[in-house]
Structure 1
């Protein structure tokens, strides 16, 4: 795959099945826990979660053949994480999610391009802060977000190596 031939754009309803397949492959590869409801609920509801709400969006990286090679999403943070309850002003807090790049294309600047799209969208929508959580074991994830100006708000550690991060816009 040549990164110059790739297109980054918002996903459309017609892309959903291909995006779901890509995400499920990524989850299986990175987490080896395919089918966990807590991890896949939004994957099965992509349209309702990321496409339909005006202040949410999901982007895909597409090959010329239409294959999905990466994804990233923004939705309004919903205060669901107990350890962070009440930390964020919910209407102006965006949550970054489902940011995955095909392993053959990692470390080529595509994540930064997706982040630029997400950041511009967040500013247009009036968000003031971007929140995310990641895992230290994910290839490139934690270090990428740190390099892009996200700061740690809570490091849960443990076997999940879960780290919560944020970036003010």
Structure 2
């Protein structure tokens, strides 16, 4: 049986590459021994940077992080939220709907029924629903990559021609 070439192996695993990464396979030893001419010190950082710099490049079936970030400002306005009534105590003012039962109880505990204390109920908007938590985690990962892994290239643009793809995306929005 003939030995499989490196190119054939790479083509065979290309579709499952993310699966290998999620399982914790370390590629730096494999790439270092297979391609000694590559000068890569940290393959994980390189892959993280590649993830952030993905773009559709006109391909409608493909969406990358750069595309996602360009559309984020419009989509963030449509975020789903939940609301629930929250009770607050106010002295001498009313905000929202008065909870008369809570107001009377609060005044009775204080020993003064004529005290200007009001318990008011206001709808409180909550953003921490499951799908928003996933978005929050994704944005924190992207922010970490941009601020940590790409910091030098963003501060010192000389020699980094690929930065032109970042020009159309405002990563400062996630800071």
Q: Relative contact order, CA 8 A, sep 6+: which one is greater?
A: 2
Do both share a fold (TM > 0.5)? no
Structure with greater proportional helix content: 2
Which interval holds the TM-score relative to the shorter structure? Answer: under 0.3
Structure with greater proportional strand content: 1
Q: TM-score, normalised by structure 2?
A: 0.24
